[in-house]
């Protein structure tokens, strides 16, 4: 199934057990395949160190997405620490 990336912005993200994780704030795309690689829970910072931290601590690999509908559902074991 295909969908416009713009529809995913600000979509709520929940674990498969119903725990709220956050909102989809930004995305990392694989330019070779055109696929989404990661969903970020914060906008991607411009500073290199801050961007690296956001990718490590506040993002979810798209391969861990279980479904996308009215919300995004991800595997519980893959949720990042958001500090919230």
User: pTM of the full predicted structure?
Assistant: 0.84
**Phi first, then psi: what are they for 9, rounded to 5°?**
-60, 135
- Rounded Cα distance between 72 and 50, Å, is 25
Mean pLDDT of the chain: 89
User: What is the Cα–Cα distance from 19 to 49, expressed in whole angstroms?
Assistant: 29
Residue 83: inside a domain = no
DSSP assignment of 21-58: EEE--EEEEETTTTEEEEEESSPPPSSHHHHHHHHHHS
Total domains in the chain come to: 1
At a CB cut-off of 8 Å and minimum separation 6, what does 43 contact? 25, 26
Domain span at 50? 5-78
Q: Is residue 84 part of a domain?
A: no
Question: Which token pair is 52?
Answer: 């690296």
The pLDDT assigned to 84 comes to: 41
For residue 35, the cross-strand partners are 30
11: CATH:
2.30.30.240
Query: Which tens digit of pLDDT belongs to each residue from 48-80?
Result: 999 999 999 999 999 999 999 999 999 976 666
Residue 30 pLDDT exceeds 80? yes
Per-residue pLDDT band for 2 (boundaries 50, 70, 90) equals confident
Q: Is the pLDDT of residue 38 over 70?
A: yes
């Amino acid at each position: 199934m295909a969908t416009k990336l713009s529809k995913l912005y600000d979509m709520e993200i929940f674990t498969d057990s119903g725990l709220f994780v956050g909102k989809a704030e930004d995305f990392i795309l694989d330019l070779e395949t055109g696929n989404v690689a990661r969903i970020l829970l914060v906008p991607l910072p411009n500073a290199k160190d801050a961007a690296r931290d956001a990718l490590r601590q506040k993002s979810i690999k798209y391969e861990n997405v279980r479904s996308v509908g009215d919300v995004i559902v991800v595997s519980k074991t893959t949720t990042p620490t958001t500090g919230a």
